[in-house]
Structure 1
Amino acid sequence: MNFGKPDDVDWRTSTMNLDTALCRLFHIRYPIFLAGMAGGPGTVKLAAAVSNAGGLGILGSAYMTPEVLRAAIRELRKLTNAPFGVNLFSIQTVDDNSRTEEVQRELNEIRKILDIPLVQGDQVQSPEYFEQQFAVLIEEQVPVISTAFGVLPTHMMKQAKSHGIRIVTMATTVQEALLAEQAGSDAIVAQGSEAGGHRGTFDISSRPMGANIGTMALVPQMVDQVGIPVIAAGGIMDGRGLVAALALGAEGVQMGTRFLTSIESGAHEAYQKILLSSNEESTTITNAFSGRPARGVKNAFIENWDKRGIEPLKFPTQNTATRDIRNAASRQNNPDFMSLWAGQGLRMLTAGQSAASIVEETVRQAQTILLNTVH
């Protein structure tokens, strides 16, 4: 993006309005996506608020039953007439119970701390909703499907495209971005290592903690190699981050952590309190909660698990095995044993701010920087 003083007034006007190719492709006013935050923090109200404010609200649906997902989409449509998206985990899941008994013994030590029932046995059964969830998205004609952990399978990609649905794929390396483009994705989220929540790395078999390339390094390399819009994610919390992403060649940004303490957030009150008292050194990447690497605030669960030196079960088996612990911690208002997913920009969080206000503030700050630059 050229920040030199332009002679073309129309260029200047569109720049001040942040009207990038991403906006035109997804029919949104501002190049700001809400990250699809599954498991509670990303509510229907939050997604609708971001869409109504001119961004693209994305609903994290990975753990929703098909019935709950359908109801959520219909509720979302009641709250906004603007485009929105739904995020899925594009991964075929099979429980691996080869070490379940061993892991449950370790988890029982944590259950004793929370005073909840111990778990005996060597079998865990995780629900598998992916195919049914996708069917719901087709039936409900959602405008955008976003995926983590990989691209949509070929038959799903073709079906979504035939219905005019836009596809966004999260990628953590240039090679993943190329695979996403070849598969037919309309845009790619370049997820830098600063990003909160699960790493979008496609294959973690040779790198258990996922690919961890910083946003500043990842975005321009990805932009240089693909011909579709790149959306920067990871550590972006305000208009400064948006302008920096545009300067690196991205067409927009995706923000998740920034909205965790918003009025519309579904994050537990104790979770939000921890976030607001944390800083850039507070998070770590762990696979202890789910079996896949994710960035979150360090707490007693992570520390206890790391001390025991045991490998977690594979995703989603570990996630299912730890669910009772996370649920009990929420009921007890105990953040020590919650999964406190968050990125590294925690000092820039604010309390009690609406999602619309966050979008507007981000846009206003970016416009001010751009205006000062072109003048």
Structure 2
Amino acid sequence: MTKELKIGKHTARYPVIQGGMGVRISGGNLAGHVAKCGGIGLVAAAGIALNSDHYTGTNYFQAETQAFQTELRKARAIAPDGIIGVNVMVALSDFEPLVKSAIEAGAQVIVCGAGLPLSLPELTAHAPDVALVPIASSVRAAQLIARTWEKRYHRLPDAVVVEDPDTAGGHLGEKMENIGTGEYDQYATVRGVKQFFRDEYHVEIPVIAAGGIWDRADLEHALAEGADGVQMASRFVCTEECDADMAFKQAYLDCKQEDIGLLMSPAGLPGRAILTNTPNIRQYDLDHHTPCRMGCLKKCSYKESGERFCIVTALDRAQQGDVETGLVFCGTNAWKADKITTVQAIFDELFGD
């Protein structure tokens, strides 16, 4: 098994990126311990102000950048020599200041999905050593990003994450009607993205498979199919180090395969979650007349018309342990979680002799 993963100027001991899980599921503690164990740990930017010492209830955007930097420094203290990055959704209203604050706090890798990060090289031009990694679900999306970056900024991605919408958790970069049809071939996409960079730019760009990676067999299959590494998110939730409340982790331990499905996010994207409490999420906002206080997303049906629900507060409630009215994002394999373990134990299972 190929063990190292080189992204830009950074080489991880193991070919694992811990996926970004927003609203403090993957904060500094989880990201730091993944980096300490030899993977790439990501602090997720979305909603990181909530349930932080920086948020007063009225200073959301200021608290976002402050809390983001606090979590990055926490991760760095845990893994002084590890590779620590961030996941920043393009759909966030404060996408640009979050990217800039991540660089200030020492992020080495920036992963961006939920939209095409066409301006990312401009935001990071002053920090050429920071690796830039877009998330794409198609060869066409990867082509558009690469060609735009190269034409405008003379920069190519340092890696590409190919996310499988049929298996990944959280927000998905595909239309609802196209998910689960059986037509999507993740590893054909992985190979197609690699071939595009070879043919057009004569370079070898690492391509990371994301979605549905749970155990060593999944990892070895991904590498055998042409991926240079994997991104795993749901697998790290039921660890002692994950930043979520124990009730959130228990929701994974309790869920059945049929409990996991799709819902439409107010962000205009499908999302995969545990659906056993879905009616309660909308009802909470109706009962509490929850206003859009944050304006966290550039485009949001709840902000614009009160449709659906306030996603950032629903995710925040779940992170703090209210899984009855909160939203619990997960991948299709979350039902496989059967115990609380440690990040180190997961790495031992994935890479041990």
* TM-score greater than 0.5 by the shorter chain: yes
Q: Aligned equivalents of 2:317 and 2:131: distance in 1?
A: 38
Give the match for residue 223 of structure 2: 246
Change (3 A) 1:68 1:19: closer
| 1:215-247 per-position Cα deviation (integer Å, ceiling 9, x unaligned) | 345433433434421100111011111111111
Deviation of 1:153 after TM superposition, in Å, equals: 3.6
Aligned with 1:271: secondary structure? helix
Q: Which amino acid aligns with 1:219?
A: V
* Residue 47, structure 1, aligned to residue 31, structure 2: yes
Change (3 A) 1:355 1:343: same
Give the match for residue 194 of structure 1: 167
CA contact (8 A) 1:215 1:234 kept: no
Change (3 A) 1:351 1:336: same
Q: Aligned equivalents of 1:324 and 1:222: distance in 2?
A: 36
From 101, 108, 111, the counterpart of 1:143: 108
CA contact (8 A) 1:283 1:297 kept: yes
CA contact (8 A) 1:299 1:337 kept: no
Give the match for residue 215 of structure 1: 186
Give the match for residue 88 of structure 2: 88
Q: Aligned equivalents of 1:61 and 1:231: distance in 2?
A: 20
Q: Aligned equivalents of 2:334 and 2:135: distance in 1?
A: 22
The RMSD of aligned alpha carbons is 2.9
Q: Aligned equivalents of 2:317 and 2:123: distance in 1?
A: 40
Aligned pairs, how many? 301
From 136, 140, 152, the counterpart of 2:117: 152
Aligned with 1:74: secondary structure? helix
Give the match for residue 229 of structure 1: 206
**Percent of paired sites with the same residue:** 25
CA contact (8 A) 1:42 1:266 kept: yes
Give the match for residue 262 of structure 1: 239
CA contact (8 A) 1:180 1:188 kept: no
Give the match for residue 15 of structure 2: 31
Larger Rg: 1
* Residue 18, structure 1, aligned to residue 3, structure 2: yes
Give the match for residue 348 of structure 2: 360
Q: Aligned equivalents of 2:22 and 2:178: distance in 1?
A: 19
Matched ranges for 1:262-301 at <5 A: 262-288=239-265, 290-301=267-278
Q: Aligned equivalents of 1:19 and 1:324: distance in 2?
A: 38
Q: Aligned equivalents of 2:66 and 2:24: distance in 1?
A: 16
Give the match for residue 71 of structure 1: 70
Give the match for residue 345 of structure 1: 333
CA contact (8 A) 1:29 1:55 kept: yes
Q: Which amino acid aligns with 1:266?
A: D
Q: Which amino acid aligns with 1:294?
A: G
CA contact (8 A) 1:285 1:293 kept: yes
Q: Give the TM-score, by structure 2 length.
A: 0.75
From 282, 288, 300, the counterpart of 1:316: 300
Aligned with 2:12: secondary structure? coil
* Residue 336, structure 1, aligned to residue 308, structure 2: no
Change (3 A) 1:217 1:335: farther
Deviation of 1:62 after TM superposition, in Å, equals: 1.9
CA contact (8 A) 1:289 1:322 kept: yes
Aligned with 2:251: secondary structure? helix
Matched ranges for 1:113-128 at <5 A: 128=93
| 1:34-86 per-position Cα deviation (integer Å, ceiling 9, x unaligned) | 00111121121110110010100011012231111122222222111211111
Change (3 A) 1:278 1:186: same
Give the match for residue 119 of structure 1: none
CA contact (8 A) 1:232 1:253 kept: yes
CA contact (8 A) 2:238 2:339 kept: yes
* Of 283-292 and 173-182, the range deviating more from structure 2: 283-292
Q: Aligned equivalents of 2:125 and 2:160: distance in 1?
A: 16
Deviation of 1:27 after TM superposition, in Å, equals: 1.3
Deviation of 1:151 after TM superposition, in Å, equals: 3.7
Q: Aligned equivalents of 1:281 and 1:217: distance in 2?
A: 27
* Of 156-165 and 30-39, the range deviating more from structure 2: 156-165
Give the match for residue 289 of structure 2: none
CA contact (8 A) 1:169 1:188 kept: yes
- Give unmatched runs, 5+ long, in structure 1: 1-14, 94-127, 202-206, 306-312, 369-375
Q: Aligned equivalents of 2:194 and 2:179: distance in 1?
A: 18
* Residue 169, structure 1, aligned to residue 169, structure 2: no
Q: Aligned equivalents of 1:166 and 1:289: distance in 2?
A: 30
